[in-house]
Amino acid sequence: MSILVTGVAGFIGFHVAGRLMERGESVIGLDSLDDYYSVALKRARIKELRGRHGTRFHFNQTDFADTVALAEALDPLSFDRIVHLGAQPGVRYSIENPHAYARSNIVGHLNLLEVARQRDSAHFVYASSSSVYGGNETLPFKVEDRVDHPRSLYAATKKADELMSECYAHLYRLPLTGLRFFTVYGPWGRPDMAVWTFTKAILEGRPIDVFGEGDMRRDFTYIDDIVTGVLAALDNPPADDGASKAGGSRAPHRLYNIGNNKSEELSRLIGVIEAACGSQAEKRLLPMQPGDVRDTFADITAIERDLGFRPTTSIEEGVPRFVAWYREYYGI
């Protein structure tokens, strides 16, 4: 039976779909190809998946926030599990365009939960975010911590997704797993994120904007580790046994952090990118941006205990792989 992967033209969806098909699964990929960033890059990812996996891959361009269009698109298709990675991402853009987040992340998430309920899906895995921890000051962040103080509407919509999911797990006994990803980077990455923007500017000889004066810390997680965590979660649906799950639910709903379990100073990341690019960055030190949090750091005890997941890629290994991919992709 196929697996439905939403956001398949996106950074993480592309890699998750690829790994699923490498191990022999068939994937129905859904994406609206929205223009939040380069549509050409999204199309290139789809082309790559088609080239590598042929008929194992079925792509459907649909907006999952459009309830009628989604029902029409999925009606003729069979799948028993859902990996819901499509969303409007980005903390800073949620200040400019809040409605995009309400639409894709709240209406869209509800639409996918409804699909799972109507089809009695065997497992629904979805993307949450480290941003739900907001301004929490106790590090590392644990899935048991309270997350009631978001710093951006993006974070608030991801927390809303977790709450809607909990409700569906309770009412309909639907097995659900929410994954709080921590700053993901790697080949085929996202052009709005720091590793990409710094690499691009350094290679073009332009200055880089360093927010938080360089002393923000992030738990940077390499894409291959994220994909390993997503598949480990997908393969182990939570039991409906009344026991307390990671994140505290007694319904079949778990929450896990997937991070590298290492909080790195932005200035150290820049040093690693400079080394991989072979040139120094000219830094413009700027204050933190509205919506940003100063530090992130994932406690991964829960996913390690339940699924045996541990990340294996340091930024010293992962960043040069990204820079090599970037140079090859753009021919520079």
Binding site for ligand NAD (CB under 6 A): 7, 9-13, 31-34, 42, 63-65, 85-89, 104, 108, 127, 129-130, 181, 183-184, 190
CB 70 within 8 A of CB 64: yes
Structure tokens at 206: 């332009």
Tokens of 241: 């046994």
* Strand, coil or helix: 212: helix
Q: Which of 37, 101, 133, 154 is catalytic?
A: 154
Could you tell me which of 281, 302, 43 has the C-alpha nearest to residue 29? 43
Closest distance to ligand NAD from the beta carbon of 301 (Å): 19
Please give the backbone phi and psi of residue 222, each rounded to the nearest 5 degrees, phi first.
-75, 140
**Burial zone of 129 (CB within 10 Å; 0-12 exposed, 13-18 middle, 19+ buried):** buried
Min dist. Cβ of residue 62 to ligand NAD (A) = 6
Query: Whose Cβ is closer to ligand NAD: residue 7's or residue 175's?
Result: 7
Minimum Å gap between C-beta 278 and ligand NAD is: 26
Report in angstroms how near the CB of residue 240 gets to ligand NAD at its nearest: 25
Residue 293 to residue 296: CA distance in whole angstroms = 8
Q: CB nearer to ligand NAD: give 61 or 240.
A: 61
How would DSSP label each residue in 244-269? PPTTS-SSSEEEEEES-S--EEHHHH
Nearest to 129 by CA among 185, 192, 181: 181
Q: Rounded to the nearest whole angstrom, what is the least distance from the CB of residue 209 to ligand NAD in the complex?
A: 18
Angle subtended by helix axes 266-277 and 315-330, to nearest 10: 50
Question: Can you read off the two tokens belonging to residue 153?
Answer: 């509407």
Q: Is 154 known to be catalytic?
A: yes
Q: Is 245 left (phi over 0), alpha (psi -120 to 50) or beta?
A: beta
Cα distances (Å, whole numbers) of residue 331 to 41, 139, 165, 273, 310: 14, 41, 43, 18, 34
Residue nearest to ligand NAD (CB): 10
Give residue 123's identity as a one-letter amino acid code: H
* Closest CB 224 distance from ligand NAD, rounded Å: 14
Q: What positions carry a catalytic annotation? A: 154
